[in-house]
A and B are shown apart, each in its own frame.
Chain A
Amino acid sequence: MNGKGLATICLLLGIATNGLAQGFAGLGMQADGFEQVLPGYQFSFPEDHAAHPGFRIEWWYLTANFENEEGQPMGLQWTLFRQAGKAQDTATGWQNRQIWMAHAALSTPDVHRSAEKFARGGIGQAGVEASPFSAWIDDWSLVSSDGSFDQLTLRAKGDGFSYDVQLNASGPLVFHGDNGFSVKSEQGQASYYYSQPSLKLTGTVKIGETSHRVSGQAWLDREWSSQPLSGDQSGWDWVSLHLDDGVKVMGFRLRHEDGDDFHSGTWITADGQASPLRQDQLKLTPLAANTVEDRKIPTSWRLEIPERAVDVTITAINPDSYMKTLFPYWEGPVTVKGSHPGRGYLEMTGY
C-alpha cells in the first residue's frame, strides 16, 4: 500500500477533514456514487490492470532496486495516480473531470532527482489501457512490450535525469490482505490491492549527462479505492523488500495521533505464495532520524516479524531521498541487514 497516494489525493480533493466523517460512517456510506471496496471481489485480467472509473482514486506504482556496471546501488520510482471528481466519469474531451498525476524519481547514494506531472483525463494526454497494457502521462509511459502485463517498458525523464528500462515478470501477481481486499484502519477503510513484486529490470538510466547500464529488481503495485483514510491517521511508513533468499515482504504502519498505530503486511514466498501479516504479526520501529528538508525523518528502521524469525535493520541508501513535489514526502531505496539481508523501498509521509 502506498500511503502517499492517499495523502496526495486527499489533498487534491481538499476533503481530508470530510474524510473523517466518512470514515466513521463505514462501508454502508455511498461516497458520491462511487463504488465501494468490498470483500470478496473477483479480480479479472487484463481489465483490472486498466483504470476503474467507478472508484475515486487509483494508482500504478513502480519501485526498483538495481546497480550500475560498477555495482553502485540505485533506485527508481514511477507512479501514476488517477483521481476522479465524480463516479463513472468516462466523458471524452474537456468535460472529463479526472485528474492524473505522476511522480518519477531516481536515487543513488549521492543523488536524488525527482519530477512530477499533472494532466486531465478525457483528452488522451494521460490514461491507462488494459490490452495491450499501456499507462502514460505526457511523454512518461509504462507500456507492454508484448501486449501482456509481464513484459513492460518504462520511460520517464525529469530535470537532470531520465530512465528507459525493460521489466520482465518472473512470478505471479500477488494479492494483499484478503485476496486483494486490503484493510487500512480499524474503522474499515480499505482498498483493492495487488502487486507484481517479481520484475527483473534491465536498461539505462541517465543522471546529468552520464548514462549507466543497470540491472536489478522491480515491484509494481496496483491499488484503487473510493474512500480516503481515517482522519486521525497522521502519516504512514511503508516498505517493499526483496530479500536475498527470494522472499518478498510488504509492510506498512499507519500512524495514529493517539499512538495506537495500525500495522499490516504481506509475506510472499520465493514462488509467489502470499500470506497476510496482521496487526500483531509485524512491527516497524524507527531507529535513527535524519534532518531532511528541515524535518526529522527516520531513515533507518527495525522490522520484526517474529513468526518468520525476521529481525532486520532497514537503512536508506540516500537519506536525502525527499520528493520535493507539490505534495512532498520521502521515498527512496534501502538496504536490509540482519536476519534476512536484502534491499527494497521505503516510503514515509506525514513528517
Chain B
Amino acid sequence: MMRHRLILTTLLSHWRRKPWQFVILLIGLATATALWSGVQAINAQARDSYAQAAGVLGGDDLDRWTGNAGLSISLTDYVALRRAGINLSPVMETVLRDGNRRLRIIGIEPTSLPQKSLIQSTDEAGSLADFVTGSGIALVSADTALPLPAILPPARVSDGLPPDTIVVDISWVADRSGRVAPDYLVSLKLSNADHLAISSVTEGRVKLQASDASGDLSRLTDSFHLNLTAFGFLSFVVGLFIVHATIGLSFEQRKPMLRTMRACGASSRALVIALSLEVLGSVLLAGSAGMVLGYLIASSLLPDVAASLRGLYGANVDGALNLQPSWWIAGLGMSLIGAFAAAAQSIWKAARLPVLAPARPEAWQAAHRRDLTRQGGLAILLLGVAVVTLLLGRGLASGFILMGSVLTGTALLLPVLASNILHWMEARQATPLSRWIWADTRQQLRGLTLSLMALLLALSVNIGVGTMVDGFRKTFLGWLDQRLAAELYVTAPDTATGLGLKAFAGSLPEVDAVLPIWSSDVRIDAWPVTVFGFEDHVTYRDNWPMLQTSRGMWDKVRDGQFALVSEQFARRFNVEPGDPLTLPSPSGGWTAEIAGVFSDYGNPTGAVMINATTLTENWSDLDQRRFALRVAPECITTVRDLLIKEGLPERSIVDQSRVKAASREIFETTFAVTLALNALTLVVAGIALFTSLLTLSNLRLPQLAPLWALGMTRRQLGWIELGRMLGLALFTALFAIPLGLILATILTKVINVEAFGWELPVFLFPLQWISLIGLALLTALVASLWPILRLQRTPPATLIGVFSNER
C-alpha cells in the first residue's frame, strides 16, 4: 500500500512541474464528457417526455386498440363492442396551438375508462359529472403554464400528466374536430375470449396495436435523436483526442522517471496500477466537472431542442432538465471508458517498458514510419468499409457508419499524405536550411498528428453540416414560396363552421378562389399518413412544388382515381408516378394511381393529395375545417375582417407571411442545436491543437538549438515555427474542404433521406469555406503564439544547456 502510494505521488509530482499539461488533460476530459453527457441529457429528457406522453392513459397497463392499419374506429363498432360486454374506452386526440406552444388534447370517456388508468384514479367521485356535464374540466399538469386558451374548459391540476398535455372529455375533442369515430380504444389486459369477441364483433376491423412504450413520438423522433447522439459522440471523440495526446505526451515525458522507478525496484504491475489510479482520479475530477458542464450545455440547448421537436414532430418535451441518477452514472462511466481508451496505449506501453532505454535512437523514426504505414493501411480499410456501406447499406445506422468510416479513414490518411508531401518537398529544396525546415516539419508531424486530425474532423464536419444547413435553408425558402401560394389560411373551430365559412368566403367578391384543405388521417403499416382533399386550381398548377410529374397530372387528379404523394411517402414505399396506390378507407380500401410526387419538407408523416370530392366520397371521418383563400393583396385585410365578423376567431386565420415565418423558425431552431454542437466541436479541436503545440514546444528546443547555434536568431526561428504551423493548418483546412463536401453529400443524400425522408440538392458555399480556413489559421495562430513567445524568451543559456544535457 505504502509502495503504491509512493509510486502514485511520484507519478503525480510530474503535474506539479507541468500544471498546464494537467489542466489541458482535465479540459480535454471535461469537454469530452460535457458534450457527450449534454447530448445524452437532452435525449434522456426527451425520452422521458415521450414515455410520459405515451403513458398518460396508464402506460404499460393499458392496451391500445385501433382500426385496421391504425385507422380510427367507427362509433358503431365501439358501441357494438361495449354491448358485447367488452370493457374498452374510447379516446380522441387533437392538437391545439396556443401562441408558440402546442397543446396535446386527449379526449377521454371517463365513464368507461378503466379504473386502473391514471386519470380515473386522480379523479374524485364528485368531479366525474363535472368532467362530462356542464362546462367540463381540463386536467393539466402543474407545470403547464396557465392560463389555458379560453376555449378549453376550466383547468384543474392533476398529477402525472406531461407538460402541455390536457385531458378533457371526449366530447370536447369531438366538437372541436368535427369527428365522431374514436382514434383508438384503451383497455386493461383482456382475456382471450374478449380478444376473440373483439375480432368477431367487428369482423376483424379492430386490432390490438403493437405495444410500444413510447409510441409514435419515439419512432418519429428517433432520427432526430440519433443525429444529436452522432454529433455528441463526435465531440466526445474529438475531446478524447486531447486526452490521448496529453496522456501520450506525459507518458513520453515520464518515461525516464518510469525507468528509474523500475530500476529502483518498482514492479511494472505497480506502475500500471498507479497510472490507472491517475486516470481514474482525473475522471473523477474532470468527469464530474464535465457532467456539470454537460448539464449546463443541455439546459441551454434544451429550449431549442424542445422547440424544434415540437415544431417538427408535435412532441412536447419539458423545457426544464430533470435528470435521473442514472444519467450521472452513465456519463461518468462514459468518461471513464473514454479516458481509459485514450490512456490504454500509454498504460500498455508502461506495462512493457524495459528498464533500460533502447540503445538505438533511430528506432524512433522507424517506429514513426511503421505507425504511418499502419495508419495508411487502416485508412484504406476504413474507406473500403465506406464504399461497401455505400453500395450495400440501408437505413440510418448504415448512413452514420458511412459517415464515420469516411471521416476516420480520411483523418487517418491525413498524416500519411502530409508526410509524403513533406518528403517530396524536402527532396526539392535547394538550401540546407529549407531542407531542414521541411524535414523538421515532417518530424514534428508525429506529435501533431492527433490534433491535426481533430482539426480536420472539426473543420470538415463544420463544412459538411454548414453546407447541409445552408442548402436546406435555400431549398426550404424556395419551397415555402411555392407551397404557400395562397394569401390566407383559415382553420375553423369545427367542421360545420368550416363548411359555412367556406361558403361565405366563396360568396365574397373580394375572394378570387376558395381552396379547401380537407383531410382524413389514415395509417399505412402503422405510419401516419394524411390524405388531403383539394380542388383543382391554377394555384396548384402554377406553384405546387413537384419533384416528379406525369403527363396531364393535374387533370388526372381532378378527375379522381389519381393521387399525388409526398416525397417521404414515395421513398418509404418506393413508389413513383404510374404505380398503383391503395389507401385504407372505411369501405376497406381506396385504390388509385400515383400521378406525381411533391416535396413536403419537415413533415415526419406521410401526405397524399387527392381530389376533394373523391375524399368526401370515400372517407367519412373528415377534417373539413381548413381552407385557403386567393385574394388580391389589397383585399387581404378586408377579407380577414369580414371572416372575423362572420364569427371566425381571429387566431384561426393566418396570412401567408406568418405561416412562412413560423415554418422558418421551426427549421432554424432545429439546426441551431446542430450548429451549436458544431461550434463547440471546433473549439475543442482548437484546444487540442493548442495542447499539442504547447507540449511540443518543450521537445522542440533540442531541435531548434542547433539552428540557433548555427547563427539563426530566435526571431527567425519563431517565424519559421509560425509559418510551419500555419502551413500545416492551411493544409488541414484545404484537406477538410473536399472531405466536408463529401460529408455534406452523405448528409443530404443519405442521412437526410433516411432520417427525414427527403433529399436535398447540395449547394456550394465557398464563402463559408474561406471563413473556416480563416478560422483554422486563427486557431493555429493562437495555439502557436504562446510556444513561439516562449521560444523568444528562452534564455540562450537554456539553449546551450540543451547541448550539455543531451544524452
Contacts and interface: CB of A to CB of B under 8 A. Distances in A.
Given A93-B75, A123-B79, A14 B126 contact: yes
Given A123-B75, A139-B84, A157-B85, A14 B109 contact: no
A84 B82 CA distance: 21
A13 B134 CA distance: 10
A300 to B, nearest CB: 30
A120 B134 contact: no
- Which of B85, B169, B170, B175 has most A Cβ within 10 Å? B85
Given A99-B133, A125-B79, A119 B127 contact: no
A203 interface: no
B108 to A, nearest CB: 11
A124 B133 contact: no
B180 A94 contact: yes
B530 interface: no
Given A11-B125, A14-B126, A94-B174, A99 B82 contact: no
Q: Which interface residue of B78, B127, B171 has the most chain A CB atoms within 10 A?
A: B171
Nearest to B87: A138
A124 B79 contact: yes
A14 B111 contact: no
Contacts of A340: none
Contacts of A85: 129, 132-134
B83 A125 contact: yes
B84 A94 contact: no
B128 interface: yes
B180 A120 contact: no
Contacts of A94: 109, 169-171, 174-175, 180
B130 interface: yes
Contact of B83 (A12, A83, A120, A139): A139
A41 interface: no
Given A85-B134, A97-B171, A119-B111, A138 B129 contact: no
Contact of A326 (B78, B84, B125, B169): B125
Contact of B127 (A14, A83, A124): A14
Contacts of A157: 85
A93 B494 CA distance: 15
A93 B129 contact: no
Contacts of A326: 125
Contacts, number: 73
B253 interface: no
A114 to B, nearest CB: 15
B125 A93 contact: no
B613 interface: no
A84 B126 CA distance: 15
A351 interface: no
Interface in B109-134: 109, 111-112, 125-130, 132-134
Contacts of B109: 94, 120
Contact of A95 (B75, B84, B130, B171): B171
B805 to A, nearest CB: 90
A86 B75 CA distance: 23
A125 B109 CA distance: 12
Interface residues of A, number: 26
Contacts of A93: 75, 171, 174, 180
Nearest to A93: B180
Contacts of A193: none
Interface in A109-149: 118-120, 123-125, 136, 138-139
A283 to B, nearest CB: 34
Contacts of B83: 124-125, 136, 138-139
A9 to B, nearest CB: 9
A119 B112 contact: yes
Contacts of B171: 93-95, 97
A207 B582 CA distance: 51
Contacts of A24: none
Contacts of A100: 111
B622 to A, nearest CB: 15
A43 interface: no
B85 A139 contact: yes
Contacts of B111: 99-100, 118-120
A125 B82 contact: yes
B112 to A, nearest CB: 7
Contact of B132 (A120, A123, A125): A120
A60 to B, nearest CB: 17
B128 to A, nearest CB: 7
B446 to A, nearest CB: 75
Interface in A7-32: 11-14
B366 to A, nearest CB: 83
A118 B112 contact: yes
Interface centre among A99, A100, A125 (most CB of B within 10 A): A125
Contacts of B134: 85-86, 97
Interface string B303-327: 0000000000000000000000000
A47 B169 CA distance: 31
Contacts of B130: 14
Interface string A154-182: 00010000000000000000000000000
A120 B109 CA distance: 8
Interface in B58-81: 75, 78-79
Interface in B156-189: 169-171, 174-175, 180
A118 B75 CA distance: 17
A12 B130 CA distance: 9
Interface string A61-102: 000000000000000000000011110000001110101100
Contacts of B132: 85, 97, 99, 120
A327 B75 CA distance: 29
A327 B125 contact: yes
Nearest to A157: B85
Contacts of A139: 82-85
Interface in A41-71: none
A11 B124 CA distance: 11
A157 B127 CA distance: 28
A91 to B, nearest CB: 9
A304 B479 CA distance: 89
Nearest to A89: B133
B533 to A, nearest CB: 23
Contacts of A138: 82-83, 85
A186 to B, nearest CB: 28
Nearest to A136: B83
Given A139-B83, A139-B85, A86 B112 contact: no
B129 A12 contact: yes
Contacts of A119: 82, 111-112
B133 A97 contact: yes
Given A94-B171, A94-B180, A13 B129 contact: yes
Specify which of A93, A94, A125, A326 lies most central, judged by the most chain B CB atoms within 10 Å of its CB: A94
A160 to B, nearest CB: 14
A125 B125 CA distance: 22
B79 A95 contact: no
A11 B126 contact: yes
A120 B111 CA distance: 7
Contacts of A97: 132-134, 171
Contacts of B85: 138-139, 157
A124 to B, nearest CB: 5
A350 B75 CA distance: 39
Nearest to A14: B126
9 contacts: A11-B125, A11-B126, A12-B125, A14-B130, A93-B75, A93-B174, A97-B134, A97-B171, A118-B112
The 8 closest A-B pairs by CB, nearest first: A85-B133, A139-B85, A118-B111, A14-B126, A94-B171, A94-B174, A97-B133, A124-B79
Given A93-B174, A99-B129, A124-B83, 16 more contacts: A12-B128, A86-B133, A94-B171, A94-B174, A95-B171, A95-B174, A95-B175, A97-B133, A99-B128, A119-B112, A120-B132, A125-B79, A125-B83, A139-B82, A139-B85, A157-B85
Interface of B: 75, 78-79, 82-85, 109, 111-112, 125-130, 132-134, 169-171, 174-175, 180
